[in-house]
């Protein structure tokens, strides 16, 4: 009996040693082909895991991080900067760096954020959209901490921003120092809003104001019976004009003063202005946040669960601010060709017509194969065309919930593959499943040029 006890103890010790050295055998299986690593939930870190998986599906953002981090040369610099830590994680999650692990640990991101004085607990529920703004603002702070004095060899690049390292030469035996241009680069999510105000009395337009944004936070308009709510409805509600009362109009005051002969002082004329928002600069990567929070009559928070329809492609031309003035015939033709993009109400829509293309429309006319876009709906290709790269959903209510992500994974634009990711769990998903999700966040990436997105023969002919 004693020998059996010794053998049993030895076997238990051997099993414990194997577990310590190599971990559980079930966790050592290789990741299935076509899938990406999951992320370990460190308590309540699904908000961080889902955001990282979505950011890894944005090639423009990863390329920007690669260019931005070239300024850091020593290992000490690499370990203390958010951009470097974020790039290392995204490269692995996007399979640009090979790993055999099924599940990764992203606690290093929380550590570097704490070094930047952000107190984010891994055991408290947080919001993915708020973390997105924490990352973008921290990256901007990191960029602003860099010296603004231009390098001696970089003076010429102020007049020619497209200059490359190979075009610069000097008579020296040593190697040419690297040209640093990171200080004038913005991350791909950076955009600008325009605020335009016009007096309803004299039609005088105040100077246009510009404000920066990293994401568009859209409220969901009240649903109309029998009509689905689309992303166009949310965007149109965002830029819809509003009246602002009791605003001092300098032009009305000036006109009133010109009618007084004795030069008597007059009071400032207050009138009603019409205010409208537009997109002055559209970013390369567009983040759209759908506001799911509402309030009951008793003042308690409620979560809105209704589905907002969105498409694989997004056309933003009609939401772009255009400088007023004489337009060429070509520009007039383009604006005219895009007028049906607005989500008009049934009463406002001309009889016998229907929108040619609508962001979020589910008409059978546009039930295309994945990766195709109906160019025939336009007299010319849209200038601001975006493609869906990631979708976030929240499961639960206002008090407790969970984030899951649908990221796109593709090496070729025409062969986008979709995944469903919830922390450590990763599986394949279809485009139909993605578009049917109740989205909380949407990532779109701009498609440049007609040749960069495929079109089926039925629409291009």
Q: What is the tens place of the pLDDT at every residue in 122-149?
A: 777 889 999 999 999 999 999 888 765 5
Return the pLDDT at 302. 83
Q: What dihedral do alpha carbons 116, 121, 124, 130 form, nearest 10°?
A: 10
Which letter does DSSP use for residue 227 in this model? B
Report the run of H or E that residue 209 belongs to, with start and end. Answer: strand 209-213
Which letter does DSSP use for residue 10 in this model? H
Q: How many CB atoms lie within 10 A of CB 433?
A: 13
Report the percent of the chain where pLDDT is more than 90. Answer: 41
Cα separation, 164 vs 183, whole angstroms: 16
- Which residues lie below 8 Å from residue 139, measured CB to CB, with a gap of 6+? 68, 82, 83, 86, 187
- Which residues lie below 8 Å from residue 422, measured CB to CB, with a gap of 6+? 46, 402, 404, 405
**Catalytic residue positions, numbered:** 46, 402
Nearest residue to 290 via CA among 336, 238, 243: 238
| Angle (nearest 5°) at CA 81 between 78 and 82 | 125
Cα separation, 93 vs 53, whole angstroms: 7
Cα separation, 311 vs 9, whole angstroms: 61
| Angle (nearest 5°) at CA 423 between 418 and 426 | 35
List residues bridging with 427 in a β-sheet.
420
Return the pLDDT at 412. 53
In 49-208, DSSP assigns E strands to 103-104, 191-199
Return the pLDDT at 105. 94
Report the run of H or E that residue 212 belongs to, with start and end. Answer: strand 209-213
Return the pLDDT at 361. 62
Query: pLDDT per residue over 246-273, tens digit each?
Result: 899 988 988 888 777 665 677 888 899 9
CATH of 33-145+187-345+354-460, one of 3.20.20.120, 3.30.70.60, 3.40.50.1370, 3.90.70.10: 3.90.70.10
Residue 183 C-beta-side C-alpha neighbours within 13 Å:
13
Q: Average pLDDT, stretch 231-237?
A: 93
Return the pLDDT at 284. 96
- Per-residue pLDDT band for 423 (boundaries 50, 70, 90) equals very high
Q: Which of 31-45, 243-257, 410-424 has the highest mean pLDDT?
A: 243-257
Query: pLDDT per residue over 292-303, tens digit each?
Result: 988 878 878 888
Q: Average pLDDT, stretch 164-174?
A: 47
Cα separation, 394 vs 445, whole angstroms: 22
Q: Is 0.85 surpassed by the pTM of this model?
A: no
């Amino acid at each position: 009996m004693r020998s059996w006890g010794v053998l049993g103890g030895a076997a238990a010790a051997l099993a414990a040693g194997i577990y310590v050295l190599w971990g559980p055998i079930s966790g050592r299986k290789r990741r299935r082909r076509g899938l990406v690593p999951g992320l370990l939930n460190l308590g309540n870190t699904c908000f961080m895991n889902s955001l990282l998986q979505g950011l890894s599906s944005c090639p423009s953002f990863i390329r920007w991080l690669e260019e931005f981090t070239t300024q850091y040369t020593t290992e000490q610099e690499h370990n203390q900067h958010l951009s470097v830590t974020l790039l290392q994680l995204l490269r692995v999650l996007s399979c640009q760096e090979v790993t055999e692990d099924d599940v990764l640990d992203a606690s290093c991101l929380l550590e570097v954020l704490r070094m930047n004085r952000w107190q984010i607990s891994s055991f408290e529920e947080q919001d993915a959209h708020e973390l997105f703004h924490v990352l973008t603002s921290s990256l901007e702070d990191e960029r602003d901490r860099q010296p603004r004095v231009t390098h001696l060899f970089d003076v010429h690049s102020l007049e020619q921003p497209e200059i490359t390292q190979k075009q610069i030469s000097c008579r020296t035996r040593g190697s040419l120092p690297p040209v640093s241009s990171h200080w004038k680069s913005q991350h791909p999510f950076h955009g600008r809003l325009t605020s335009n105000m016009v007096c309803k009395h004299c039609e005088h337009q105040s100077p246009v104001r510009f404000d920066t944004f990293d994401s568009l936070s859209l409220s969901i308009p009240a649903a109309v019976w029998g009509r689905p709510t689309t992303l166009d409805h949310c965007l149109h509600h965002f830029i819809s004009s509003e009246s602002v009362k009791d605003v001092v109009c300098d032009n009305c005051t000036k006109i009133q003063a010109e009618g007084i002969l004795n030069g008597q002082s007059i009071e400032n004329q207050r009138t009603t202005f019409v205010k409208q928002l537009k997109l002055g600069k559209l970013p390369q990567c567009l983040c759209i946040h759908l506001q799911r929070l509402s309030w009951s009559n008793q003042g308690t928070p409620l979560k809105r669960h209704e589905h907002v329809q969105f498409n694989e492609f997004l056309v933003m031309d009609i939401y772009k601010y255009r400088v007023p003035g004489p337009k060429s015939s070509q520009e007039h033709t383009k604006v005219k060709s895009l007028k049906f993009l607005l989500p008009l109400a049934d009463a406002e829509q001309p009889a016998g017509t229907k929108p040619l293309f609508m962001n979020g429309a589910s008409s059978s006319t546009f039930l295309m194969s994945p990766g195709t876009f109906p160019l025939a709906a336009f007299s010319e290709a849209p200038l601001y065309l975006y493609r869906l790269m990631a979708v976030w959903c929240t499961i639960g209510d206002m008090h407790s919930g969970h984030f899951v992500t649908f990221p796109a994974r593709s090496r070729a634009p025409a062969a986008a593959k979709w995944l469903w990711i919830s922390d450590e769990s990763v599986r394949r998903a279809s485009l139909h499943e993605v578009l049917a999700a109740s989205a909380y966040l949407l990532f779109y990436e701009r498609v440049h040029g007609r040749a960069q997105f495929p079109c089926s023969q039925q629409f291009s002919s």
